[in-house]
Amino acid sequence: MSYFSGKFLKAVRRIRHRMDERHIHNFRLGVKRLRALWAFREWVTGKRVSGQDRKLIQKAFKRSGTLRDIQVRQEILEDDLQPLMGHETANHADSKKAGKRFRETIRQKRLSPRHLASRIRKWTSFADRMSDEKLVINGESFYLRGMERLHQLAAQLPDDRVLHQIRKEIKHLIYIGQFLEEALPGHTPWHDRLPVLITTAARIGEWHDLHLLTSRLPSDDPSRQTTDDLLEQARTKAMQGIHQLLG
């Protein structure tokens, strides 16, 4: 099950020795894939993944998120908005503190690459016991369940919290779809589904990054009007993407 373990375990190995943006990103991507795996496993077997390992992974993910939020704000400022800003908003001290807390968590014994590899083998064992046909059928039922969930959430828009939840649900579909495409090349209908799912998630992601930035800006910041306008444009594109996905 290299889809769930490959880059993830490599990122954990690297981060335990040195902080690096690329490996932090791959760590977070790996946890998101694991969350999709947990959801798929629960859907198929009726058994929820629980325990100290899951809790510790979630804790590390949360702490890496604090660090990543600081990095994202800095990237946005350096990219598009720096000319509009009269000051630096990402605080170096905050970044250093967040990095230290994340490192303390990721270096715990239960988050060692060897232990995580063992847990991932256990979490994916249900799929190993299935025939290809059964795996495809379960993938289809998971997709239909996901689309039904997206329709239910879309009825609650334009709530920002719902928009963020829709992105998480779409990513679960993307990760399980990619896993099935890798495990069963040419035998699933996911090849045609993935592009629109990925595009929609990316549109919501653009909105989320701007939402993160504007939420940290003081109300009297001189660039507030511009960032608010950009945020509204990103929200509109995200909403359009969701409606296109759901038909």
> Are 242 and 148 in a shared domain?
yes
Domain that holds residue 188: 130-247
Percent of the chain residues past pLDDT 70, beyond the cut: 91
Burial 15-44 (b: 16+ CB within 10 A, else e): beeebeeebbebbbebbbbbbbbbbbbeeb
> Are 121 and 134 in a shared domain?
no
Long-range contacts of 131-139 (CB under 8 A, 24+ apart): 132/184, 132/187, 135/180, 135/183, 135/184, 136/180, 136/184, 136/187, 136/188, 138/40, 138/43, 138/44, 139/176, 139/177, 139/180, 139/188, 139/190
Report how far residue 241's alpha carbon sits from residue 111's, in angstroms, rounded to the nearest whole number. Answer: 37
> Are 73 and 174 in a shared domain?
no
Cβ pair 119, 53 in contact under 8 A: yes
**Distances from the Cα of 218 to the Cαs of 27, 77, 222, 226, in angstroms?**
31, 15, 9, 13
**Given 3-state DSSP classes, what are the helix, strand and coil percentages for the chain, each rounded to the nearest 5?**
80, 0, 20
> Are 109 and 156 in a shared domain?
no
Token pair belonging to 38 = 């947990």
* For residue 86, pLDDT beyond 50: no
Q: What is the mean pLDDT of the chain?
A: 89
**Total residue count of the chain as it appears in this document:** 247
Token pair belonging to 227 = 């960032």
> Are 80 and 148 in a shared domain?
no
End residue of a domain, out of 129, 152, 169: 129
Beta-strand ranges (E) seen in 82-183 are none
End residue of a domain, out of 113, 129, 145: 129
Alpha helices in 159-216 (DSSP H): 160-183, 190-216
- Predicted confidence at residue 171, as pLDDT, reads 98
Per-residue pLDDT, averaged over 232-243, amounts to 95
Tens of pLDDT, residue by residue over 56-72, are: 999 999 999 888 777 66
Tens of pLDDT, residue by residue over 102-135, are: 999 999 999 999 999 999 999 999 999 999 999 9
Per-residue pLDDT, averaged over 35-48, amounts to 96
Per-residue pLDDT, averaged over 72-81, amounts to 59
pTM: 0.88
Report how far residue 118's alpha carbon sits from residue 6's, in angstroms, rounded to the nearest whole number. Answer: 13
> Are 91 and 143 in a shared domain?
no
The confidence band for 74, taking pLDDT boundaries of 50, 70 and 90, is low
**Which amino acid does the sequence have at 80?**
D
- Predicted confidence at residue 244, as pLDDT, reads 95
> Are 125 and 7 in a shared domain?
yes
Report how far residue 59's alpha carbon sits from residue 97's, in angstroms, rounded to the nearest whole number. Answer: 16
- Predicted confidence at residue 83, as pLDDT, reads 46
